[in-house]
Every structure is written in C-alpha cells, then in structure tokens.
Amino acid sequence: MDLVNHLEGRLLFAVPKKGRLLQSALNLLEGADIQFRRENRLDIALVKNHPIALIFLPAADIPTFVGEGRVSLGITGRDTVAEHEAGVVALRKEQAESGKSTPQEDEGGCVEIMDLGFGSCKLQVQVPEKGQYSKPSDLIGKNIGTSFAHLAEEYFAKLEVEEDAANGTKSKKLKTKIIELSGSVEAACALGVADGIVDLVESGETMKAAGLKPIDTVVSSTAVLIKSKNPTNLETVDLVAARIKGVIAAQKHVLCQYNVERTKLAAATKITPGKRAPTVNALEGDGAWVAVSSMVEKKKIATVMDELTEVGAQDILVLEIANTR
Ligand SMILES: Nc1ncnc2c1ncn2[C@@H]1O[C@H](COP(=O)(O)OP(=O)(O)OP(=O)(O)O)[C@@H](O)[C@H]1O
Ligand SMILES: O=P(O)(O)OC[C@H]1O[C@H](OP(=O)(O)OP(=O)(O)O)[C@H](O)[C@@H]1O
C-alpha cells in the first residue's frame, strides 16, 4: 500500500524510530490503545482505530518536523527540543545581523504538552578526570566536541559574555570552537579532537569509562510529548494527550486496599487520602470493620504500608493500575 497517499485527514504523530526512547514510547502507545502495524523498514504506520499516522523519525529530528508544523504531535527528549530551539534562535540572530529578514518570535516552534517520565538524562559539560580543566570557564577558547552544537554554542557564548564583563572587555566572535560530532562523543578527548565535551549522561558509566568527569549541566532531560504551535486535527491531539496522561498517571500510582476497624478509619484514611477521597465499604457481617481502597503514589507505597500497619490496618493489598482518567 502506498502509505504516503493515505495520510490525508490524519493526525501525524512522530515517534522515535530507534534508540533509548523507542521501547518506552511504544509501551505508551499500547497503553493508550493506539493500534498499528509497522511494516518492515517502513517509517509510516497507519493507526487502525484512530485517524492518526505514526511517523518513525530519529529522536533528534522530531522537534524540526513538529516545530515547522509538518507533524502535529511528537515524542522525543527535552534535550532535542532545546537543541532545536537554540538552533532557531541562532538562525534568527544571524538573519537579523545580516539584515536578511526580521526575526519573528512567534513563527513555528514546539509546545511541551507533558513530561512522560522516562528517558531521564543530563546534558553535561565533561572534561578529562585527570586534566588541567576544573571549571567551565577553563574551556573558553578551547575545542569542544558535541552532538548538541547549538546548545554548546549558546552555553559558551554566555560564559564568554560573563568573562568579558568581569574583565571589562568585549569580543564579538565566539572564542570557543564547537566541533560537531554525530556520536561516540566521549572518544573526542582521548583522541585529542577536543579539550572537553558536551554530551548526555544517565548512569555515568560511559563518561567514567572514557576517563571524564562532569563540571556543569546544560539541560536536564526526560522524554516529552510535544505539539506544534498550530496543530491540525486539534480534537485528535487532545484525545491522544488525554489518553497518554491517563497511562502516565496510572504508571505513577497503585491501588491500595485494606481492612481496618471503623474506630481507626480516620487515622488510616489520613495516610491514604486518595485522589479525591478513599472508597470505604462496610465488611459483610462485621459492622466494626470497613474495607478501604485508595490510589497511592507508587514511590510512597512501602512507607504507606508501614504506616497503615502501625494504625492497625490488615489484609493490605497493592494492585497495579492499567489506566486512569
Ligand atoms: N543514556 C541515556 N539514558 C537515557 N536517555 C537517553 C540516554 N541517551 C540518550 N537519551 C535520550 O534519548 C534520546 C535519543 O538518544 P539516542 O542516543 O537513543 O538516539 P538515536 O536516535 O539512537 O541517536 P544516535 O544514533 O545519535 O545514538 C536523547 O535525545 C535523550 O533524550
Ligand atoms: O551515562 P550512560 O548511562 O553511560 O549513558 C550515556 C551514553 O548514552 C548515550 O549514548 P548512546 O549509548 O545512545 O550512543 P551514542 O554515543 O552513539 O549516542 C550518550 O550519548 C552517552 O554516550
């Protein structure tokens, strides 16, 4: 089937085609009941149960497609959105300086709808652990390797302005040399290509293995759902956003059920107040006891169970929530 000719009227939704965010993004789509079959090697998949087409793109390119309004929705890292925006700002500045066009603040761009809670990492300035550089300003005028050229340029331009202000000097051109690399950035210092790098860190294992240490954070990132400034198919955008929000909320919570004596109900429900209020039901044949069920934040459940036991709750059950609105 010629998929490109079946896109008319569909909401275009960009999803990472590979890499760190792919599996979690697919899990989210499944949780939101967005059904599709991706043909081998095809980067477009039509959604069976909604007027949506998924477009599989490199995570770093998604902000460009969404920002230019070619695609209405996207899942990508906040770092890639920041890099895209820094690129747009740099281009507008360049155009304004060369008198080519007037900068238009409100044309295009991405709007973050929500944090998706996975893909957490930091874009950090890193230098050799046993080297001569210990603070960011030591790298002014040096070579910096990165895949985030616009963010690195913006970062060092700001550092240079601060240094100029402190010295009472003023330089127009960036002294620091930004070397754009497409991957394996950590190798740049060891191989003498760069004095420092700006790259992503999660566990820190790659950085450590390369003999590097962090000296500053440029951006803290997680995966985000983004939309273009003026999306088409607004109703479908809102539907997808509401469904994904439900899945995320469900992932963050569990359902806690327990039995407690009516006299201790107030103390117990203070520990599990729930979203709106806890559900309380009488226990069949035992007027003195009630059954309570309440949503609890997943990360707090162990403490909540300890506290419930302390106030006399019994038969405590914790259940996963598949979805919620
Ligand atoms: N180590 C990591 N841990 C968690 N999230 C990460 C990590 N590295 C990258 N990310 C997130 O995933 C996004 C995509 O990075 P990833 O390296 O998977 O991309 P990719 O499309 O496979 O690109 P490349 O081919 O350059 O590796 C990043 O922009 C960032 O938000
Ligand atoms: O702190 P860590 O948990 O070690 O993760 C950090 C590494 O993960 C990413 O690279 P990736 O493995 O995606 O490969 P890449 O270098 O080709 O981008 C990033 O660019 C770092 O190299």
The whole-number pLDDT of residue 48 equals 94
The whole-number pLDDT of residue 105 equals 56
Contact predicate 181/204, CB 8 Å: no
Is the sign of the CA dihedral 280, 282, 283, 287 positive or negative?
A: positive
The whole-number pLDDT of residue 266 equals 96
Q: Within 10 Å of residue 281's Cβ, how many Cβ atoms?
A: 10
- Given 2.60.120.620, 3.20.20.70, 3.40.720.10, 3.40.190.10, which CATH number is that of 121-221? 3.40.190.10
Q: Within 10 Å of residue 256's Cβ, how many Cβ atoms?
A: 24
The owner of tokens 């709106």 is 276
Query: Which DSSP state fits 281?
Result: E
CATH class of the 3-118+223-232 domain in this structure: alpha beta
- Read off the amino acid at residue 324: T
Domain covering 253-320 assigned CATH 3.40.50.1000 in the classification: no
The whole-number pLDDT of residue 303 equals 97
Where do you find CATH 3.40.190.10 in the chain?
3-118+223-232, 121-221
Residue whose Cα lies nearest atom 5 of ligand 1: it is 119
Q: Within 10 Å of residue 15's Cβ, how many Cβ atoms?
A: 26
Distance CA 62, CA 285 (A): 59
Contact predicate 21/117, CB 8 Å: no
The whole-number pLDDT of residue 324 equals 83
Token pair recorded at residue 70: 């070619």
Distance CA 277, CA 116 (A): 26
- Choose which residue among 124, 206, 213 to substitute to test ligand 2 binding: the one with the highest number of ligand atoms within 8 A of its C-beta: 206
The whole-number pLDDT of residue 287 equals 82
SS3 for 140-204, per residue?
CCCEEEECCHHHHHHHHHHHHHHHHHHHCCCCCCCCCEEEECCCCCCHHHHCCCCCEEEEEECCC
Distance CA 191, CA 28 (A): 40
Ligand 1 near 79 CB (within 6 A): yes
Ligand 1 near 202 CB (within 6 A): yes
Q: Could you give the ipTM of this predicted complex?
A: 0.95
The whole-number pLDDT of residue 63 equals 97
The owner of tokens 């970062």 is 155
In the chain, beta strands by DSSP E: 11-16, 44-46, 52-57, 73-77, 110-115, 121-128, 143-146, 177-180, 196-201, 212-221, 223-228, 253-261, 279-283, 286-297, 314-320
- Tell how far the Cα of 20 is from the centroid of ligand 1, in angstroms: 5
What are the mean pLDDT values of the chain's consecutive 10-residue runs (325 residues total)? Answer: 76 96 95 90 92 96 95 97 94 82 67 96 97 94 97 96 84 90 92 95 96 97 95 90 92 95 96 93 88 95 98 96 84
Where do you find CATH 3.30.70.120 in the chain?
253-320
The whole-number pLDDT of residue 104 equals 59
Question: In terms of Cα–Cα distance, which of 190, 132, 136, 189 is closest to 163?
Answer: 136
Ligand 2 near 200 CB (within 6 A): yes
The whole-number pLDDT of residue 230 equals 85
- Choose which residue among 181, 200, 205, 212 to substitute to test ligand 2 binding: the one with the highest number of ligand atoms within 8 A of its C-beta: 200
